[in-house]
Amino acid sequence: MILPIRIDRCQGAGLSDQITAQISRLIFKGVLPPGRKLWSCRGLARDLGVAVNTVTSAYSRLETEELIEARPRSGFFVSAKSGVHTDMPVRAHPPRPGGAPITAKLNRCAQTEKITTIQRPKDWRRYPYPFVCNQIDEADFPVAEWRECSRIAMARKSVNLWSADGDNDDSPELIEQVNQRVLPRRGIFAETDSTLITLGSQNGIFLTSYLFGASGSVAAMEDPGYPDARRILSANFGKVVAQPVDEEGLIVDERLRGVDLVYTTPNRQFPTGVTLSDRRRRELLEAAEAYDFYIIEDDYACDVDFRPSPPMSLRASDTADRVIYLGSLSKSLAPGLRLGYLNASPKFIAAARDCRSMVMRHPPFLLQHTAAVFLEQAFYDGLLLRKKRDQEERWNIASSALGSQVSALKFTGAFGSTNFVACDPEAKLDAQTIASEAASHGILVEPIWPCYQQEGAGRSRFRIGVSSIPRDRIAPGLDLLNSTIDALRSSL
């Protein structure tokens, strides 16, 4: 029998854990049915190139879980108590052809299916030069500190804080830490009833859009802008207006009259990186009152903005409760944690909490409590200091490398951000062509045409992100990208 178990010594999981997981998977798939004799500990250890004790430990755990059983002088067998049924059910009636496909019944599908988002390969980390945006260098994640916080959160005396169903409430500890340690950095001083924990910014955007949206309502957003937000708004509003952006950020004018909700990224406009000017901030807040609309302020990159004195949030200047503020721990901690927060008037937070309860009661309490401990122990403060120094160093390396190149492209990247936007002023090269050719040389860049509402716009522009690529690869990667682009232009 060919051994269907493979050991990966580069994987984070231990060897015994890998053996346990793979044998249990084979049992549940029916490859190893009840009553099947397993390999001997010594024989399996020899074939896998591991110690006998490693296999013995894996078998012991499988036996504890009653997936296998030891029989005296016979060896180990798959247990009949495993509860695994290997007989596949037979469909009584095959599906009949005809009728409308299920997608035709999905009311919101047609509204968003033509809206493309920025795509990147799922295995982007294996590329030598991954210039992807708004991700982290996994080597910088505070593993030891997060592990310690997880240990504290899972201590026996803390189990009652996260194991029970909290109805629709969030972790009081995390709300307190966000209100005391996170929001004040953005000029927001919040009460308990004005903050809600979300599963990342998209969750907050959707909750807000769902509450404001209707078939006859109108939303406006920056153009170019965050394509995921455009998809969410399009699914909930009858119309989404494209509001232009210039060097001062979102343009505030008569086109906002009649809208119900405006989505904006004032601190770091997505994807251009420009900052909304003080004048435009005042105009936007005044227009919100004059035209009776509300504002989603997506402050997605505030934690990693390394400017000495970045501007405060719109919410900090909002005296009329017109701003729904969205923040996230994704850029500072890790995008995969999916932890964010929403701050607004208590009445809106109550409505958002009720809306959230129709989908989920609350984000997992264990994750919330672990994050609360991380903030309380000041690990977050230290992380931000290190992160901002690191991001500034990355920006300096990239800015210097791009500045020393002789390139036909124009690069812009505001100090305080780790993203640069490149464009071909002559529009000779399509950004998608550049991205495809660069990928063949191990370089990933991101075309930003999906950020534009008008089809065909932005085709000569792409982004370069330096937040996740190893620092020592930034300059060589940009040199190779420049050579690749030169070769493409020469072939025209």
Residue 420 is predicted with a pLDDT of: 94
Name the domain boundary from 377, 394, 411: 377
| Residue of 409, 414, 473 whose CA lies nearest to 444 | 473
Tell whether 353 and 392 lie within a shared domain: no
Tell whether 344 and 225 lie within a shared domain: yes
| Residue matched to tokens 């899972």 | 154
What number of residues does the chain have?
Answer: 492
In a domain, 466, yes or no: yes
Tell whether 153 and 253 lie within a shared domain: yes
Name the domain boundary from 377, 409, 435: 377
CATH number assigned to the domain comprising residue 439: 3.90.1150.10
Residue 166 is predicted with a pLDDT of: 66
For residues 260 and 276, give the distance between their C-alpha atoms in angstroms, rounded to a whole number: 21
Strand stretches in 193-321, DSSP E: 195-198, 218-223, 239-246, 249-250, 261-264, 294-298
Cβ-contact 421, 272 below 8 angstroms: yes
In a domain, 289, yes or no: yes
Q: Long-range CB contacts (< 8 A, 24+ apart) of 62-71?
A: 62/20, 62/23, 62/24, 65/24, 67/23, 67/24, 67/27, 68/23, 68/27, 68/38
Cβ-contact 443, 477 below 8 angstroms: yes
Tell whether 339 and 417 lie within a shared domain: no
In a domain, 275, yes or no: yes
| Residue matched to tokens 């951000």 | 417
Tell whether 128 and 146 lie within a shared domain: no
In a domain, 108, yes or no: no
Tell whether 38 and 75 lie within a shared domain: yes
Name the domain boundary from 346, 377, 408: 377
In a domain, 192, yes or no: yes
For residues 211 and 159, give the distance between their C-alpha atoms in angstroms, rounded to a whole number: 34
3 state SS for 92-137: CCCCCCCCCCHHHHCCCHHHHCCCCCCCCCCCHHHCCEECCCCCCC
How far apart, in Å, are the Cα atoms of 488 and each of 132, 436, 492? Answer: 21, 11, 7
| Residue matched to tokens 């792409």 | 462
**DSSP assignment of 173-226:** HHHHHIIIIIGGGGT----GGGEEEESSHHHHHHHHHHHH--TT-EEEEEES--
**Chain centroid to CA 350:** 25
Cβ-contact 149, 379 below 8 angstroms: yes
Vertex 105: Cα angle to 103 and 110 (nearest 5): 60
For residues 79 and 34, give the distance between their C-alpha atoms in angstroms, rounded to a whole number: 5
| Residue of 113, 114, 118, 134 whose CA lies nearest to 432 | 118
One digit per residue, the tens of pLDDT, for the chain of length 492 reads 567 888 887 777 789 999 999 999 898 888 889 999 999 999 999 999 999 999 999 999 999 988 999 999 899 999 887 666 555 555 556 666 667 777 777 766 556 667 788 889 999 999 999 999 988 888 888 999 999 999 998 886 777 777 777 678 899 999 999 999 999 999 999 999 999 999 999 999 999 999 999 989 999 999 999 999 999 999 999 999 999 999 999 999 999 999 999 999 999 999 999 999 999 999 999 999 999 999 999 999 888 888 998 999 999 999 999 999 999 988 788 888 899 999 999 999 999 999 999 988 888 889 999 999 999 999 999 999 999 999 999 999 999 999 888 677 888 888 888 899 998 888 788 999 999 999 999 999 999 999 999 988 999 999 999 999 999 999 999 999 999 999 998 887
Report the amino acid identity of residue 67: L
CATH number assigned to the domain comprising residue 67: 1.10.10.10
Tell whether 369 and 470 lie within a shared domain: no
**DSSP assignment of 327-354:** EESTTTT-GGG--EEEE--HHHHHHHHH
Tell whether 370 and 457 lie within a shared domain: no
In a domain, 1, yes or no: no
In a domain, 366, yes or no: yes
In a domain, 110, yes or no: no
Tell whether 367 and 417 lie within a shared domain: no
User: Domain tally for the chain?
Assistant: 3
CATH number assigned to the domain comprising residue 311: 3.40.640.10
Tell whether 360 and 418 lie within a shared domain: no
pTM across the whole model: 0.84
Question: In this structure, are strands 218-223 and 239-246 parallel, antiparallel, or unpaired?
Answer: parallel
| Residue of 197, 203, 166 whose CA lies nearest to 182 | 197
Tell whether 373 and 424 lie within a shared domain: no
Tell whether 401 and 362 lie within a shared domain: no
- Order of strands, sheet of 419-423, starting from the edge strand that comes earlier in the sequence: 410-412, 419-423, 461-465, 446-447
Domain interval for residue 465? 124-133+384-490
| Residue of 271, 326, 298, 330 whose CA lies nearest to 450 | 271
